[in-house]
Structure 1
Amino acid sequence: MTAGKLPGQEKASRVGSPRHRLLARTRLASWIAPVLLVVVMLGPSLLGLRLFAAGDLMQQRAPWVESSTVEEVTNQCVSDTVDGTIPTLLSFRDRIADGDVAPLWDNAASAGTMLAAAPPQGVSSPIVIAALPFPETTVTAWIKLFEIALILAGTIAWGRRLGLSTGAGVIGGFLYATGSFMVMWTNWPQTRTAAFFPLVFWAVERLVQDRTLRSALPFPLVVAGMVLGGFPAIAVHTVYLAAAYALLRLVVINHQRRRQAANGEGRADQGWWLAWGKAPALAVGGGVVAVALVAFQLVPWLNQLSGTDLEYRQNLWQGTFGAREILTAAYPQALGTCAEGLPRWGSVIPVEGVSFIGTGALVLCLAALVLPLPSDRAKGVRVFLLLAGALGFAVTFLGGTVNYLVHLLPLMDNSPLHRMRGVGSLMLAMLAAFGFEAVRRSRGERRWLPWLGVVAAPVLLVAAALGARSLAPGAGEWSLVRFSVLVGLACGLGVSAAWAWIMAGLRGSRSLAALLIPVLLALDGLMFTNAFWPRTDPELLYPQTSTDTFLRENLGHERMVGVSSAYWGGAGQVSDIRSLSGHIFVPPEWRDLLLQADANMFITPTYHTLSNLDSLTSPVLDRFAVSHAVLDTNILPPGPLLGDGEQDRSRGVTLQDAPGSRAVDAGTPLRAAVVELASPIGDVAESQDPAHIVVEVVDPDGTVLAEGERRVRDGAQGLFAVPVAGEHLETAGAYEVRVRAEGGQAVSVVAAGPGAPQTGEAWVGVVTAPADDDLDLVDAAEAQVYERATALPRFRWASDAAACASAEECASLMGEAPDQTVLLDPDDADGASFGSAPAEVVVELDADDHQRVRVDAEGDGMLVIADAYQPDWVARVDGEEVPIVRADHAMKGVPVPAGEHTVELSYEPAGWGVLPWVSLVTLVGLLGGWTYQAVLRPRRRSARSGGEHAL
């Protein structure tokens, strides 16, 4: 049976009648919401006038912060996008533009990560591919536009299959696109995955209704698009719900067709196969085809997971949120905002905790439950949508038995179940679409249940608003969110009033009320997106700094490490800077070795950066080939502080009027001059030049030996260091460190105490370099960049080996073993051949997924590459494949015999010799079959029919 009318389907209103005109106007009005969303919220970013990313947030990190003029951050809740997701996206885009047809691996951040070889980064999503031609400053906005377009296409098509009008489908799509998941996870792969959810349910509904090969053809395409989106956990949630939905619809439709046949209005499907077997078989077949479409990514990804430590995720299914977070379903800012410096009193981070649906949408959900179905075609769907949406909230806020039962399903045991609200928000958005359709079609309602709903909705919304007021810690906090709560309340009350207005059937009022609902929904959704979508100055997209230039010119094949938040996660990869820091999953051995260098390196299971200066001298970093370290200028440089304790903190002096200086003994290695701010620096207007503290190091003749300068940032307080590259000063006698302030606001610093060995009123201290830390300050323009003299080359020759079995044992040996000794697992050490002879190593190619090295060795040994030992990497010596050995616990080692050889390492994902062809052939066959079924076959039928008629 096709998508024709089922029993009881409402007949269309007579064309030209008042009711028909009303429905037509409301269909048109429903487009107001998505049009405003695109024009107002996305339009400037699509044109390049604004950046659809949190570029301002990045300006708080070194090296960008030193010269940043950003006064305040508009949205602090989207950090992972700037330090991980967007850099990976831009790296992929640049490599495609440079002619790399298949950028499979990214080696810039930490242990490296898959790009187009697997779904998690989401760069192979059709949404991303479609957006690649656009400039880097607009690509994220176009991705969001394509997401919205897919959502609307899916909700409209799904709604039409269920007997809803196009207008109702538009409303459902708008509510889903502006719901919590699609807004809060913006610029993550999550939304690229979730944008396909409506199309998945449309494809399932189409398949169950029609049960033909042609009806099943879209299913594998949309499932493949969803998987390629990059976030498999929520894709699994959707597959389970779609399967349950398909079963429900199969039962309902079969029941309707049997009843239709019994009434003589049609004929039921013939036999068990057509009634119960064909639709599941088509669905399973479509799933198999979908797997074939994405097999080229699934197989390498599963292979990669075999070497990834996911132990921390084993009990995530148990996690639930505090009950107060439920209020965000109606009022997203009820528990605070994401604006810089403003408080938030929720129990979890907003990206996870906000559950926004909207007050107007909640009213429509209630209307959907108490008003008659718009069409019998949707029997059972309302109940399913309600239960599926409720399940998302149950696993989020209740937990217990519900979570336990859900986690027993395959692939659900290591996933945070609260993210099931991703598909749950779609269920409630479509339930609201049913409510919109039911409200706009209602007239002169006299039953008590709908009127009870009209009364209950405002009561519940007011109660939620009062709850938000009571949870605010104080009057000040309430004042920050009061406006957004009141606007949301007004929108919900307005939708309730419009609903009552329509049901009352007052003459001439129904048209206005029906038009008002989409406008109120638009206002509520736009308020939410305006508060949480990042839109900043396009010039803030990873602006190039002098530190970027210095590192690109000096890193060579080695890597740097950021201390604290410097080069935030993987943000440096946009500037082609290889880093030990990152925001990615890493193999367990790599993680264990990093923890030996710094026990606090992992801030989250995936985000890691050096946490303290003491770790800069770790011999583990030497083996990681960390040749440079980057610190923010506001971090006191490593080394003793001379002069501390000589301050007179009872008084302050203005540094512009009273500069200070200190005499330092000859030969003392200098890293910074230090003053102490007497009071915190207040806010300096963006239009005003900030003060700068200038340092000059002069010899007894007045010759300037070294100098440094640092801007005084808003909020600076306490010890204030100006880095100076003076570790190798050549002076015959003592030198003088002079400190003064120039321009901007007055800088009040602590005065020198009585008897301090210095001149001038302002206290001046100096940071000196220890003789044995092997660190040299080599650049201090926008960040402190230290060169680590003990770092080993990333490509090095090992002429000898020692054995170690654990990260602890290996880390201990790294401080003792000679540079030419590689540390191997005991079994590998016993079988390896070493000639204790040197070799010349020349790197000829060092790309992300392909490396070529020429080795001229005087004896047997091993080429050690300080990159992570990962699955699917292949080594060849003179074209002959050889095994890669785990070296230095977590890195790669390639045995090389004596003589001159070419060693190549390449990333060759499992199955990539044939799987891309399998996927391509599957895609071509699927599109060919669709073309035949949709175009050629109907034409042939038409030609045959026309010929018979002519005869």
Structure 2
Amino acid sequence: MKRFIHRFPTLAAAIVYAILIALIFWPFWQGKLLMWPGSDQVNGYSFRLFAATHFKTVGGFPLWNPYIFGGMPFLQNPTNGDTFYPTALLRLIMPVGSAMALGFMIHFVLAGAFTFKLLRTLGLRIESAFIGGLSYMLTGQILSQVSPGHDGKLFVSALTPLALAFLYRAVTTNAVRQYLYFGATVGFCLLTPHYQMTYYMLMAAGFLWIFLNFFDGEREGRAPWYTSLGLFAAALLVGFAVDAVQLLPFAQYIKYSPRGAATGVSTGYDFATSYSMPIEETLNVLWPSFSGSTPAGTYWGQNTIKLHSEYLGGVVMILATLGFFLRERRRLIWYFTFIALYALFFSYGGHTPLYHIPYALLPGIKLTRAPSQIFYLVSLSACVLAAFGVEYLLRPPTVTSARRGAVAAPARTPRTPLIVWGAVLLLGALLAISGGFGVMIDSLADPARLQAAGDGRGLLTWDALRILVLGGIAIGVIFASLRGRLRAGPVWISLAVLVALDLWSVEQRYIQWSPPASVTFAPDAVTKLVRADTGIFRVVGLSNEYQYNYLPTQGIRQVLGYQGTELHRYDELLGGQGSFQNLLNPSVLRLVTARYLILPQQLTANPAVALIGGGPVGTYTNGSAYLYRLTSSDPYAYLVGAAVKVPDQQALALISQPGTGFDPRRAVLVPEDAAFGVEPSAVRGLPMPDSTAVRVGRDEDDVITLDIAQPPRAPSFLFVSENYYPDWRATVDGKPGQVVRAQYSLIAIPVPAGARRVELRTVSSAYNVGRIITLLSLALVVAALAIGGFRRRRDAVV
């Protein structure tokens, strides 16, 4: 066993971490689903199910998702999830829900193993690195990500220590292959596809490069800084090239999304600083239930919700303090201290004026929000410092009178900091028991949340007492070690157990399970009634459970959905993102081919709708809702006799404002720069609505075939109730046609007299080019790995 551990230390540590994660997530092996109703995984499930189903049936990645927000690009929009990341392969060989949970579990193990590798790369012994990896794997910013379902955050958090390890080796050994491995890791971070978290990782990497080239005291034998800079830049290019398959389509898409719009709720300083970390919530690092949490119903803080944990662990923080006494690694320790402080103040976002600096200077920051996400770098730094603290304890004895095998006290020991820590933990327990924390919370909490704050007092008291006990034991073990009364083995094993108990006892609260996907996402009575209608239409879900992405899991298209970066013009057509003031506007409902409404309450008699099912109908959440069919709705596609060029804002007003008399069946409104259409001044009267039926012959996400029952006698315009995007291509009876944005956000295609068939197809040249670049980049990385392996075997033989 010892031989295996010393020969394959990272693999050995990963095996132990995997066993621990397998036990923590035991319900997974019983078929449970790792999500709760408030998790993003509930909505993300539909995206992943859609992509996996498309890949299995069509044989490729989907370019278009027709099921939410009037249809929207899929591959071009990275917020749809890990489409190109290796975890997507799991969904091709096992049920989607199980694959999503397994992706989380694998990356918990990787977070620990890669931190272990980083610490070994930094020169720490196996025991110290094991505790550092263990603490990062179980820290709040890692393990609690199962609560909000933020797998992308977790994936980048897990890969960050690996990236830093490769960069450290690259700079310190001048190895080009290590730069290449660093670049590949950056590429996989981008593929996760959490660009914001990757941005934060690159901040840490950039600061590490600066430290190693200008502030590290051991620079002898390294390449000049300008050579290193060139290799660092080349590595970043490799990283972006690996992500080209996703990055190029996204770069095209972003200007069409809410975050690329000149105005809107997804722009500006207030948006960028939303979900900043309130300064008072810093106390969560030691007393994890101080601000409460949304899942527990105890959150009283300034943000709307709080689904994660910042808990660093009392034992980890005590050990991190010891790291500062490891003099021989003092400069590296100060680097991680700087990263922790930088990330902490960055996470405060709009709660301090300091955030104006990165907001103004750093490119792309204005497109992001929730700066609190960078806090994972605080967690990583604390765990690395804790490993340095263990290393300090386990150093060879420096006092000759120490018993054999014991760790003797060095000349200078951290007794004072340990006493201070003991006093802090005792003070916290006294404040919790006496109500001092309660007084503090009541002075900070929103009056509307005082009840939630009160509900969390009991858990806060328990946490204060729990960490007092565990921290006290840890301090006792450390004192015993410093006095030479404990051997190295019992010291690090005791500390590892304390770290695991401390972190697990808090983060297990965030792990919630649901029945298997076959139960959680089973068809309900509402969807069974809707699916009885075989046409192509959309549903407006106003009952809470249908406002998100359940309907797409049943193959039902909806007017809204849960996404966040849908097409900006579609948002405006519906009255603005978030408010959607035009959602029930009759003209807008006709345009988006809405046919059904799902409401939480029954309507009074209304000739515009007809009740389906005779009364309340059961929902998948074991509630009830009312299903109505609109008595008048337009088909998915139809012929229109005229096209009129009007400015966008005028088109939006004609469509949405009452009393304009606009009839979408008589004219399509196209932009002023459209290749067809007439000016309003040239209109002498609009043709009557064309009743010719247009049948959808093929509907396969990326391809739509439309058959015109009676060929038009004169040139006409085929309106399609699908969002316009530049990737749409059309053929009319096999000949290239034009696709133009019409009715502000949708599609119109001019068709000549006698036309019979129109085919719409999404074709992304950005994806096609990006795919080639990605494959070539991955081939380069694989070749480097093969060459490195060959050289290692050759050197071993020699």
TM-score range, shorter chain: 0.7 to 0.9
Unaligned runs of 5+ in 2: 397-406, 443-452, 619-624, 679-685
Tell me which residue corresponds to 1:587: 567
Where do 1:878-897 residues align within 5 Å? 878-897=733-752
Aligned to 1:301: 250
Shift of residue 910 of structure 1? 3.6
For residue 68 of structure 2, the aligned residue among 95, 105, 109 is 109
Is residue 2:782 matched to residue 1:818? no
Of 485, 490, 508, the residue aligned with 1:530 is 508
Per-residue CA deviation, residues 585-606 of structure 1 (Å, 9 max, x unaligned), is: 22222111212xxx7x726xxx
Pairwise CA distance, 1:364: 1.6
CA deviations over 1:716-762 (Å, ceiling 9, x no partner):
xxxxxxxxxxxxxxxxxxxxxxxxxxxxxxxxxxxxxxxxxxxxxxx
Structure 2 letter corresponding to 1:796? Y
SS in 2 for 1:560: strand
Contact 2:172 2:219 (8 Å CA) reproduced: no
Equivalent residues of 2:723, 2:745 under 8 A apart: yes
1:794 paired with 2:794, answer no
Q: 1:357 to 1:942 in 2, by over 3 A?
A: closer
- The 1:113/1:471 distance shift into structure 2, 3 A limit, reads farther
2 CA distance for matches of 1:625 and 1:591?
Answer: 16
Question: CA 1:480/1:615 → structure 2, altered by over 3 Å: closer, same or farther?
Answer: same
Map residues 662-681 of structure 1 onto 2, 5 A cutoff: none
The letter for the 2-side match of 1:920 is L
Q: How many residues align?
A: 735
- Are the counterparts in 1 of residues 17 and 113 from structure 2 also a CA contact under 8 Å? no
Contact 1:300 1:911 survives alignment (8 Å): yes
Counterpart residue identity of residue 346, structure 1? G
1:909-928 counterparts in 2 under 5 A?
Answer: 909-928=764-783
Write the deviation string for residues 10-55 of structure 1: whole angstroms up to 9, x where unpaired.
Answer: xxxxx99xxx9x999x99998898356413321321x24322111x
Q: CA deviation at 1:578?
A: 0.7
Question: What's 1:415 paired with?
Answer: 368
Counterpart Cα distance in 2 of 1:778 and 1:895: 41
Aligned pair in 2 of structure 1 residues 176, 225: CA closer, same or farther (>3 Å)?
Answer: same
Aligned 1:22-421 pairs, distance under 5 A: 34=17, 37-45=20-28, 47-54=29-36, 57=37, 78-82=38-42, 84-120=43-79, 121-130=81-90, 132-186=92-146, 187-188=149-150, 189-252=152-215, 255-258=217-220, 268-269=221-222, 274-310=223-259, 311=263, 312-315=266-269, 316-318=271-273, 320-339=276-295, 342-349=297-304, 351=306, 354-369=309-324, 371-373=325-327, 376=328, 378=329, 380-397=331-348, 399-407=351-359, 408-416=361-369, 417-421=371-375
Cα 1:476/1:291, change in 2 over 3 Å: closer
Q: In 2, Cα distance between the equivalents of 1:140 and 1:389?
A: 30
Give the secondary structure class of the aligned counterpart of 2:344: helix
> Residue by residue, what CA displacement relative to the aligned partner does 1:324-362 show, whole Å, maximum 9, x if unpaired?
21121122222224446x433222255467422111111
**How far did 1:819 drift?**
4.7
Is the contact between residue 30 and residue 167 of structure 1 (CA under 8 Å) also seen in structure 2? Answer: no
Residues 245 and 768 in structure 2, CA contact (< 8 A), matched pair in contact too: no
Question: In the superposition, relative to structure 1, how do residues 518 and 313 fare at CA in structure 2: closer, same or farther (>3 Å)?
Answer: farther
Provide the residue aligned with 2:539 in structure 1: 560
- Kept after mapping to 1: 8 A contact 2:46/2:552: yes
SS in structure 1 opposite 2:768? coil
Percent of paired sites with the same residue: 19
1:237-284 Cα offsets, whole Å, 9 max, x none, are: 11122011112123355x4253xxxxxxxxx35xxxx33233222221
- Tell me if the contact between 2:141 and 2:375 (Cα under 8 Å) persists in the aligned partners: yes
Q: CA deviation at 1:300?
A: 0.6
Equivalent residue for 2:707, pick from 832, 854, 858: 854
Task: Find the residue that maps to 1:392 and give its secondary structure.
Answer: helix
Amino acid at match of 1:256: E
Seen in structure 2, the aligned counterparts of structure 1 residues 940 and 492 have a Cα distance that, compared at 3 Å, is closer
Q: Distance in 1 between matches of 2:730 and 2:191?
A: 29
TM-score by length of 1: 0.72
Cα-to-partner distance string for 1:336-395 (whole Å, 9 max, x where unaligned):
24446x4332222554674221111111221112x215xx5x552211111111122212
Q: Distance in 2 between matches of 1:547 and 1:815?
A: 35
Secondary structure of 1:424's counterpart equals helix
Q: How many Å separate the matches in 2 of 1:923 and 1:118?
A: 22
SS of structure 2 residue aligned to 1:298: helix
Aligned to 2:521, what secondary structure does the other structure show? coil
Higher percent of residues as strand:
1
Given residue 103 of structure 1, which amino acid in structure 2 is its aligned partner? Answer: P
- Whichever residue aligns with residue 760 of structure 2, its letter is L
Trace 1:579-728 onto structure 2 (pairs within 5 A). 579-584=558-563, 585-595=565-575, 602=578, 616=584, 618-632=586-600, 635=601, 637-639=602-604
Report the Cα offset of residue 228 of structure 1: 0.6
Residues 1:878 and 1:31: Cα distance change in structure 2 (over 3 Å):
closer
Larger Rg, first or second structure (1 or 2)? 1
* Aligned partner letter, 1:178: L
Using a 3 Å threshold, how does the CA distance of structure 1 residues 847 and 815 change in structure 2: closer, same or farther? farther
Q: Work out whether residues 541 and 547 of structure 2, in 8 Å CA contact, stay in contact via their aligned partners in 1.
A: yes
Task: Return the alpha-carbon distance in structure 2 between the equivalents of residues 92 and 630 of structure 1.
Answer: 26
Residue among 382, 393, 407 paired with 1:428: 382
Q: For the Cα contact (< 8 Å) 1:778–1:787, is it kept in 2?
A: no
Which residue pairs with 1:682 in the alignment?
A: none
- Can you list the C-alpha shifts for 1:393-415, whole angstroms capped at 9, x where unaligned? 21233753431222211222332
Amino acid across the alignment from 1:140: M
Flag the 1:847–1:527 CA change in 2: closer, same or farther, 3 A: same
Task: Assess if the C-alpha contact under 8 Å between 1:36 and 1:522 holds in 2.
Answer: no
Answering whether residue 715 of structure 2 is matched by residue 870 of structure 1, we say no
Q: State how 1:12-31 maps to structure 2 within 5 Å.
A: none
Whether contact under 8 Å (1:563, 1:631) holds in the other structure is yes
Separation (CA, whole Å) in 1 of partners of 2:421 and 2:267? 39
Distance across 2 between alignment mates of 1:167 and 1:814: 76
Q: 1:161, CA displacement in angstroms?
A: 1.0
CA drift of 1:232 comes to 0.7
Q: Distance in 2 between matches of 1:522 and 1:30?
A: 14
Question: What do the CA deviations read for 1:49-96 (whole angstroms, capped 9, x no partner)?
Answer: 322111xx3xxxxxxxxxxxxxxxxxxxx44331x2222122222223
Cα distance between partner residues in 1 of 2:65 and 2:127: 44
Task: Find the residue that maps to 1:630 and give its secondary structure.
Answer: strand
* TM-score normalised by length of structure 2: 0.85
Change (3 A) 1:246 1:776: same
Cα deviation code 1:224-243 (max 9, x no counterpart): 11001121111111112201
- Could you list the runs of 5+ residues in structure 1 that have no partner in the other structure? 1-14, 58-77, 259-267, 640-768, 946-951
Cα distance between partner residues in 1 of 2:219 and 2:83:
44
Q: After superposition, give the CA deviation of every residue in 1:105-154 in whole Å (9 maximum; x if it has no partner).
A: 32211144444445332222123334542223422221012212321332
Provide the C-alpha distance between the structure 2 equivalents of 1:125 and 1:781, rounded to a whole number of angstroms: 40
Q: In the alignment, is the contact (CA less than 8 A) between 1:557 and 1:846 conserved in 2?
A: no
Aligned CA-pair RMSD: 3.2
Q: Distance in 2 between matches of 1:400 and 1:880?
A: 60
One-letter code aligned to 2:642:
D
Distance 1:799 1:183 in 2: 59
Deviation at 1:931, TM superposition (A): 0.5
In 2 relative to 1, CA 32–436 (structure 1 residues): closer, same or farther, beyond 3 Å? farther
Corresponding position of 1:515: 493
